[in-house]
Structure 1
Amino acid sequence: MALLRGLLVRLAVLAAVLAAIGLMPWLARRDPALTVLRARYPGRETTPAALDAVRAELGLDAGPLALLRDRLAGLARGDLGTSWVSGEPVAGTVLPALAVSLTVMGAAFAVVLAIAGAAALPALRRAADGRRVGTGGVAVAGLAALPEFLVAALGVAVFAAWLGLLPAYGFTGPEHLVLPALAMGLSGGGVLARLARDAVGHVAAEDWVRQWRAAGCTRRRIMRGLLRRALPPLLPQLAIIAVSITGAAVAVETVFAVPGLGRAALAAADAQDLPVLQACMALLVGLGFTAGLLARTAADRLAGPAGTPTAAAPPVHGSRRGALLWIACTAAPLLAAVGYGLVRSGAVATGSRLEAPSAAHWLGTDELGRDVLARLGQGSLWTVGAAVAACAVSYAIALALGFVPRLAHPLAEACNSFPVAIAGMLVVVLLGRGQTGAVLAVVAVSWPPLAAHAAELTARARTAGHLEARLALGAGPWHLLRRHTLPLVAGPLASHAALRLPGMALGIASLGFLGLGAGPDSPEWGASLARSLPYLERAPLAALAPAAAMTAMTLAVMAAVALPGRRRPAR
């Protein structure tokens, strides 16, 4: 029953997204006939007769609702329609792109499983032998902190431009698959590796492991038992990683010029080609929904009839001194660079373009002669400031929905299948490019996990024993909400939202990198990275500086999360 309800909610959300795409020109108060006329006939004069001819050809005279009804009915029959821009059948463009994207996504998923397996196998051996299982250290944390668009840019720089080992662009042979698969799979592999080691560590604390070991069971048998117990909580996370790979296809296919669904969707959003955009979105979001349902079904089967969850053991942390040292090594240089850059001028100076680092410009200059370090500091306000705004809005939405768990859980589960790049394309089509649209796109994909957490906190707070005593003493519902339930929800939810702040900042940067967020001339980190890539060989620090800032920010927050708390003395 729960599986059927999840399927129905996902289908309803997908239908709503497709309907929103179909109505976007009218919602944005734009004339779709004008968009099509400019795309098909760039030099033709936009006369009323020409616009009327386009409306008659596309059937726009029937109105948006009739057009939307026909489009959705066609998609339900498998008819993808005709492109508004090229006039060719959409299937001829989208289906070959789907085959390419599935190939790249499959290779990326293999990278994810390979990294997770390489990290989980030693953990299983240590747990089977009764030894302590760690979280994987700096290597795993570093992989998990690398966003896909950043790995793609660095892959082009190192393996294609500098070393010449792999091709940077195109998709004509197996060698073109390596860099895109690594770019899409390394981050997810790092996340799954850390989650797998944590899950194995939790399972290793259960009594049956010690009993099996005392009974003389072989290491191989204990490892199989550990793996079976650790897999159910990992499979839903595997679905989330599959969704992130779907969203990463937009950025990675754009960087490497791979003719896949992500690149086709981005081009359709730019050209306002709604039939192509609808088809691409239906396939991309459908892939994410399918991955989520398959993972949930597999998790239920592995958990057994009772659905027993993995036992919760205390999380494994490193030493406090090591965590503080790691924070100092990542956050302190970033803060110093940002502070120094904020007091410097980032003005255009075309006479000093692409200069090497010097006493006047510590990190050199960019393609317009602007100080790279100054732009880095100014970009922190654009990227982190926008992320703070997105975090605040997501927190408010999640806090409100947390008190309506029947609505929060299904909406969160369905909307969690939308990557930020897809949300960014939808917002751009509706509102146009800009930092405000980037914030809204990040909010659209950031509130679901917070809302699910808020619903759990609310349910736990409402079942607390002291609330019954307060009710018996005559306390009203508003008093209980304001003085008891809300404090129990707001604080932990705020901590959760703060932990997601680096991910939101990377989402803002990824949209800027794709040209869906801040303007191309803004100092925002993602936009700066995209603008500096063509000059990578002459001024590498112009691209490496924002890349290093994004990685350092994420690693610093991850180290802060793992920081052990002070132990209170026993009374």
Structure 2
Amino acid sequence: MRVLARGGGLALLWRTVLTAALVCAIGLLPWLSHTDPALTVLKARSAERDPTPETLNAIRDKLGLDDSPLALLGRWLGGLLHGDAGQSWVSGTDVRPAAAQALGVSLLLMAGALAVACATAAAVCARTLWLGSRRRLGDRRAGGTGAAVLAALPEFLVASVLASVIGVQLGWLPALGWYGPQWMVLPSLALGLPAGALLGRMLDDLLPSAFAEPWALAATARGLPPQSVARQALRRCVPGLLPNLGLFVVGLTGGSVAIEQIYDIPGLGRLTVRAALAQDLPVLQTGTLALILLAAATGILARLAARLVIGPALRDGALQSLHRPTPPARGIAPVLYGALLLAVIGFGLPRDPLSLDSSARLKSPSWVHPFGTDALGRDILARIAHGALNTLGTALAVTALALVTGILLGLLPRLSAPVVDTVNALPPVLAGLLVTGIAGSGPWTPALAVAVVAWSPLATHTAALLQQERATTHLAATRALGAGAWYLLWHVLLPAVLPPVTRHALLRLPGIALALAALGFLGLGAQPPSPEWGLLLAENQPYAERAPWAVLAPATVLALLGALAVTTASGVRLPRPKRNSRPAERPGPPAPQAPPDTKPPRADTTLTAASTSPSPTS
């Protein structure tokens, strides 16, 4: 008990230090970015007013900006201890009521988006559940590329299409404002569909291994209903995804800035980012602190829920491994998608992406312009092809860095868990502003900003899989044969973790590519007329009704990248280990002989303690 209490105390101290460091960095943001806070506040209050020295001095005197940044931060923290978060530098109103109202709106939107995400994930896994519960799955990985295409679509594009088609043209649902339950349907769909598709793909990746465990074979042989077997298979796989589900919850709350902007929703994400752009420090610090506390609470609840579902097996070390070493999958789908993507790039590279033609503005696709033209008469095919070189190259580099960082930090869950919760609480735009303030603006600023936050879901996934793999009977047997810690790490743990985490990283590749370009559009990296894919989507979005091809073309290519990523991820396997491989024996008494190869479970196999589900006879 003392050890557990000491570990919990250290984790709480680590979280407190990280939160204090982040709040201090935000408090120093105007001075880190070398901008005049008084000038920024004046522009936010009244853009037409001249920034005369007298006006700026009056703002400094009123807000106390002549004091040091640490003095300002100390005053804000002192008021926070008494329930006073200060007053907004821009509007002059109290911060706490506005932040509390925005948090309530974001939580309600998050609940709706989470319901949509769970329904979407269930639809993605439905075929695997049906086949697996009837023993028709085999070694085949179910689930097509439709989920990957949906997960690759940018949220603001889905929101724009839903708002223009369902809200404006058909008039079925309201598309602007926040006045009741009807107003939360479209934004919940826009947020929940891509997140649910990604979550469903991750769950679909674990289910075949769960259906191959002895308890599932015995349950099917004893005639348990397929629905019961499928339900227990879900229960077996959910603990490995609960931490990532917690990250989705926080991301849906703080990272829904684009959705809140499109639908005019007064949520916490939009409030925080607007305060960051206006350098309204009291609002920015209060909003960020609320997001951090929400992330910490969600992460703790997710870990407690995982222990509640699978805790006894974790404690007793009586799990079966969900890792099944199978030969690499072969298929024509990755080759087909890769060939299509290369064809688009190859046909577009000889064209000029910057050539303007005022007489060919918003032209529909033709032989001359296969993907049409944009509002300035530029060839969209050329811009997509030239933008692919920079966008895909940087996205691959950031994904590789995030994968390595996520795996390394996932091996140290006590150190990384508080960092993950803190980092995941930051909206990408706010992370970009902080990185810009510290490292300065430049072409690599978006890559650095995305890399700062992209590793967190991979570290969470790694830690969750390691926790279950360390509790397997296979690990205990290998250790009994004389295996040391390094042998277990390299030959048991990492082979079980690397394939699913690598597949997870590939599934996030399209989202990373979009996040990089979106930050560049906000002025934190490459500027127009750079042909990055995110810039193409953002520049052409106002013309979606007049020229839908201007948005559909880059969105289709991005979806093609998602399909390529998920089909390539499905082939990430480790080969079967050699039959004669044995761990190196440690010095000491001779270890017991390795048992012979076990035969497949018979029909009368009983459920052991490795199962997390109740016995079929209960």
When normalised by structure 2's length, the TM-score is: 0.77
Q: Which residue of 2 aligns with 1:141?
A: 148
Q: Which residue of 1 aligns with 2:40?
A: 35
Counterpart selection for 2:289 from 282, 287, 300: 282
Q: Which residue of 2 aligns with 1:535?
A: 543
Which stretch of structure 1 is more off in the superposition, 553-562 or 434-443? 434-443
C-alpha RMSD of the superposition = 4.0
Higher RCO structure, 1 or 2 (CA under 8 Å, sep 6+): 2
Is contact 1:105–1:181 with CA below 8 Å preserved after alignment? yes
Counterpart selection for 1:259 from 243, 249, 266: 266
Counterpart selection for 1:423 from 415, 431, 437: 431
CA 1:370–1:309 in 2, change beyond 3 Å: closer, same or farther? Answer: farther
CA 1:7–1:414 in 2, change beyond 3 Å: closer, same or farther? Answer: farther
Deviations 1:490-518 (A, max 9, x none): x9999986775444213213434666554
Counterpart selection for 2:119 from 87, 111, 114: 114
CA 1:89–1:394 in 2, change beyond 3 Å: closer, same or farther? Answer: same
CA 1:433–1:539 in 2, change beyond 3 Å: closer, same or farther? Answer: farther
Which stretch of structure 1 is more off in the superposition, 151-160 or 181-190? 151-160
Offset, 1:107? 0.5
Q: Kindly provide the amino acid, as one letter, of the partner of residue 44 in structure 2.
A: A
Give yes or no for the alignment of 1:312 onto 2:322: yes
CA 1:414–1:39 in 2, change beyond 3 Å: closer, same or farther? Answer: closer
Alpha-carbon distance in 2 for matches of 1:8, 1:43:
47
Offset, 1:119? 4.3
Offset, 1:299? 0.4
Counterpart selection for 1:374 from 367, 373, 382: 382
Alpha-carbon distance in 2 for matches of 1:306, 1:543:
50
Q: Which residue of 2 aligns with 1:212?
A: 219
Deviations 1:148-194 (A, max 9, x none): 23322332354345545444332234333222111110122112223
Is contact 1:348–1:368 with CA below 8 Å preserved after alignment? yes
Which stretch of structure 1 is more off in the superposition, 145-154 or 405-414? 405-414
When normalised by structure 1's length, the TM-score is: 0.83
Which stretch of structure 1 is more off in the superposition, 165-174 or 107-116? 165-174
Alpha-carbon distance in 1 for matches of 2:460, 2:234:
27
Give yes or no for the alignment of 1:342 onto 2:349: yes
From the two aligned structures, give the one with the greater helix fraction: 1
Alpha-carbon distance in 1 for matches of 2:227, 2:338:
42
1:119-518, aligned counterparts within 5 Å? Answer: 119-120=124-125, 123-132=128-137, 134-160=141-167, 163-307=170-314, 311-314=321-324, 320-321=330-331, 324=332, 326-346=333-353, 347-391=355-399, 394=402, 407=415, 411-412=419-420, 414-427=422-435, 435-448=443-456, 501-512=509-520, 517-518=525-526
Is contact 2:117–2:193 with CA below 8 Å preserved after alignment? yes
Is contact 1:80–1:89 with CA below 8 Å preserved after alignment? yes
Offset, 1:370? 0.8
Which stretch of structure 1 is more off in the superposition, 92-101 or 179-188? 92-101
Which stretch of structure 1 is more off in the superposition, 344-353 or 151-160? 151-160
Which stretch of structure 1 is more off in the superposition, 132-141 or 423-432? 423-432
Alpha-carbon distance in 2 for matches of 1:566, 1:70:
56
Is contact 2:202–2:504 with CA below 8 Å preserved after alignment? no
Q: Which residue of 1 aligns with 2:555?
A: 547
CA 1:412–1:149 in 2, change beyond 3 Å: closer, same or farther? Answer: same
- Structure 2: gaps spanning 5 or more residues: 471-477, 580-618
Alpha-carbon distance in 2 for matches of 1:15, 1:309:
39
Identical counterparts, % of pairs:
44
Alpha-carbon distance in 2 for matches of 1:60, 1:375:
45
CA 1:220–1:57 in 2, change beyond 3 Å: closer, same or farther? Answer: same
Deviations 1:104-131 (A, max 9, x none): 1110001012223344455445434333
Give yes or no for the alignment of 1:99 onto 2:104: yes
SS at 1:445's partner residue?
Answer: helix
Is contact 1:247–1:421 with CA below 8 Å preserved after alignment? no
Q: Which residue of 1 aligns with 2:68?
A: 63
Alpha-carbon distance in 2 for matches of 1:296, 1:403:
16
Alpha-carbon distance in 1 for matches of 2:77, 2:409:
30
CA 1:217–1:38 in 2, change beyond 3 Å: closer, same or farther? Answer: closer
Alpha-carbon distance in 1 for matches of 2:234, 2:400:
39
Q: Kindly provide the amino acid, as one letter, of the partner of residue 197 in structure 1.
A: D
CA 1:386–1:567 in 2, change beyond 3 Å: closer, same or farther? Answer: closer
SS at 1:61's partner residue?
Answer: coil
Is contact 1:515–1:527 with CA below 8 Å preserved after alignment? no
Alpha-carbon distance in 1 for matches of 2:519, 2:136:
44
Offset, 1:328? 3.9
SS at 2:558's partner residue?
Answer: helix
Alpha-carbon distance in 1 for matches of 2:427, 2:326:
30
Offset, 1:274? 1.6
Is contact 2:153–2:555 with CA below 8 Å preserved after alignment? no
CA 1:156–1:530 in 2, change beyond 3 Å: closer, same or farther? Answer: farther
Alpha-carbon distance in 1 for matches of 2:256, 2:508:
22
CA 1:467–1:115 in 2, change beyond 3 Å: closer, same or farther? Answer: closer
Is contact 1:254–1:262 with CA below 8 Å preserved after alignment? no
Deviations 1:249-284 (A, max 9, x none): 112112222221222222222212122222222223
Q: Kindly provide the amino acid, as one letter, of the partner of residue 570 in structure 2.
A: A
Alpha-carbon distance in 2 for matches of 1:318, 1:179:
40
Alpha-carbon distance in 1 for matches of 2:67, 2:330:
67
Alpha-carbon distance in 1 for matches of 2:123, 2:408:
41
Is contact 1:386–1:435 with CA below 8 Å preserved after alignment? no
Alpha-carbon distance in 1 for matches of 2:155, 2:53:
45
Aligned residues: 551
Alpha-carbon distance in 2 for matches of 1:171, 1:520:
33
